[in-house]
Structure 1
Amino acid sequence: MPHVTVEHGSGDNPVYQVGRKSFVFFRNPRPDAFDPETGERYADVIVFWVESEADKQALVQDEASPFFTTSHFDGHPSVLVRAGRIGELTVREVAELVQDAWLSRASARRAAAWLSAHPPRAGS
């Protein structure tokens, strides 16, 4: 995606930004995302911005999917995915997830230019 910079968070985790706005970042282990059997904090959580609450709910409603959220992210336009489960998604799904995250945070001008150069495919 164009105009992307990479910053590093407090745990040296990568934070991908467009126009100084984060759209994907690798989260430090936090108490709200943990293995329900062991209580161990997940060390591999990736946060993806989404366009709307409806988009978020569409991704997290299926408990079998790799997407989830926590109460920490209530009202926040993002979904969580464990890196250990990213392989459950196709390359196309991951690319679409990153593109949609970027589009949700890019300026209107940058988003329009991207969409003009990369029109959605039928069935997308």
Structure 2
Amino acid sequence: MATVDDVARLISALPEVTEGERYGHRTWFVRGKAFAWVRPFSKADLRRFGEETPPGGPILAIKVEDLGEKEAILAANPDAFFTIPHFDGYPAVLVQLREVDRKALRDALTDGWLAVAPAKLRTALPGYPAS
């Protein structure tokens, strides 16, 4: 089980991350590009669930490199990672923080950072191969 404060601590280890607010919710950026944000369900999202109970919060959205990576993440850990119709065709996954383990969360946040960080900045990430 993770919290939004755990997310903030994990993200603080990534180079050049800033925290701000977007649409009234905590959002993390690298050089002005969002890669992770708190994403509660909107009324429209809740209507789409119909009779089905939506995943419990808090919910985090994380960018991914592309739709292929999105599908791989969703298949690898369906208890913690999911999507909703609003994210169809968009390279991001949703994370149920109550269900995700620390390693999977750290890996997803790092991958989200890599998805938006400029190529030169990626080499500042420890363990990332230099060009």
Q: Secondary structure at the match of 1:28?
A: coil
Shift in Å at residue 93 of structure 1? 1.9
Shift in Å at residue 40 of structure 1? 6.4
Distance in structure 2 (CA, Å) of the matches to 1:26 and 1:46 = 4
Equivalent pairs, count: 114
Distance in structure 1 (CA, Å) of the matches to 2:114 and 2:106 = 12
Please name the residue that 2:127 is paired with.
118
Distance in structure 2 (CA, Å) of the matches to 1:67 and 1:38 = 17
Distance in structure 2 (CA, Å) of the matches to 1:41 and 1:62 = 17
Residues 55 and 38 of structure 1: CA distance in aligned 2, closer, same or farther (over 3 Å): closer
Shift in Å at residue 108 of structure 1? 0.9
Shift in Å at residue 39 of structure 1? 5.5
One-letter amino acid matched to 2:29: Q
One-letter amino acid matched to 1:21: K
Please name the residue that 1:84 is paired with.
98
Please name the residue that 2:88 is paired with.
74
Please name the residue that 1:93 is paired with.
104
Give 5+ residue unaligned stretches, structure 1.
Answer: none
CA RMSD for the aligned pairs?
2.6
Give 5+ residue unaligned stretches, structure 2.
Answer: 1-13
Q: Secondary structure at the match of 1:84?
A: coil
Shift in Å at residue 53 of structure 1? 0.8
Q: Secondary structure at the match of 1:7?
A: strand
Residues 16 and 63 of structure 1: CA distance in aligned 2, closer, same or farther (over 3 Å): closer
Residue identity over aligned pairs, in percent, reads 28
Q: Residue by residue, what CA displacement relative to the aligned partner does 1:42-96 show, whole Å, maximum 9, x if unpaired?
A: 552210111111110012236843111111111111000122222xx2x222211
| Larger RCO, structures 1/2 (Cα 8 Å, 6+ apart) | 2
Residues 5 and 61 of structure 1: CA distance in aligned 2, closer, same or farther (over 3 Å): same
When normalised by structure 1's length, the TM-score is 0.76
Q: Secondary structure at the match of 1:97?
A: helix
Distance in structure 1 (CA, Å) of the matches to 2:27 and 2:41 = 15
The answer on whether the counterparts of 1:24 and 1:98 sit within 8 Å (CA) in structure 2 is: yes
Please name the residue that 1:32 is paired with.
45
Residues 63 and 118 of structure 1: CA distance in aligned 2, closer, same or farther (over 3 Å): closer
- State how 1:46-85 maps to structure 2 within 5 Å: 46-61=60-75, 64-85=78-99
Residues 29 and 6 of structure 1: CA distance in aligned 2, closer, same or farther (over 3 Å): same
